[in-house]
Chain A
Amino acid sequence: MKQSDFLNTVMPFKDKIFRLAKRLLVSTEEAEDATQELFFKLWKNKEKLNEYKSIEAFAMTMTKNYCFDRLKSKQASNLTLVHSNYTEKGASLQKRVELNDSVSLVEKLIDKLPEQQKLIIQLRDIEQYEFEEIAEMLQIKQTAIRVSLSRARKTIREQLIKQHQYGIS
Chain B
Amino acid sequence: MELANIEKLLEKYENGETTLTEEKELKNYFLSDNVAPHLVEYKALFNYFSTSKNERFTKTIQLKSQKQNWKWLTVAASLILLVSVYTGYQKHQQNKAEKVFNETKMALNMLSGNLHKGTVAIGELQEFETTKNKIFKQFK
Q: Please report A residues at the B interface, Cβ cutoff 8 Å.
A: 3, 6-7, 10, 14-15, 17-19, 22, 32, 35-37, 39-40, 43, 102-103, 105-107, 125-128, 130, 145-150, 153-154, 156-157, 160-161, 163-164
Contacts and interface: CB of A to CB of B under 8 A. Distances in A.
Contacts of B8: none
Contacts of B62: 36, 40
B16 A147 contact: yes
B45 A35 contact: no
A14 B57 contact: yes
Q: Could you say which of B13, B52, B59 has the most chain A C-beta atoms within 10 Å of its C-beta?
A: B52
B23 to A, nearest CB: 7
B140 interface: no
Given A160-B41, A164-B41, A18 B56 contact: yes
A149 B19 CA distance: 13
A156 B20 contact: no
A22 B53 CA distance: 12
Contacts of B47: 103, 106
Contacts of A127: 53
B17 interface: yes
A157 B14 contact: yes
Interface string B24-65: 100000000000000011101101110111011101011101
Contacts of A126: 49, 52-53
B5 to A, nearest CB: 18
Contact of A15 (B23, B44, B57): B57
B45 A156 contact: yes
A107 B52 contact: yes
Contact of B41 (A6, A7, A161): A161
| Interface magnitude class on chain B | 20 to 34
Contact of A103 (B51, B56, B59, B61): B51
5 contacts: A22-B55, A32-B59, A130-B20, A153-B13, A163-B41
Contact of A164 (B16, B23, B40, B52): B40
Contact of B14 (A102, A148, A150): A150
Contacts of A32: 57, 59
Contacts of B15: 146, 150
Contacts of A14: 57, 61
B55 A3 contact: no
Q: Could you say which of A19, A130, A147 has the most chain B C-beta atoms within 10 Å of its C-beta?
A: A19
A153 B40 contact: no
Contacts of A10: 61
Interface string B53-95: 1011101011101000000000000000000000000000000
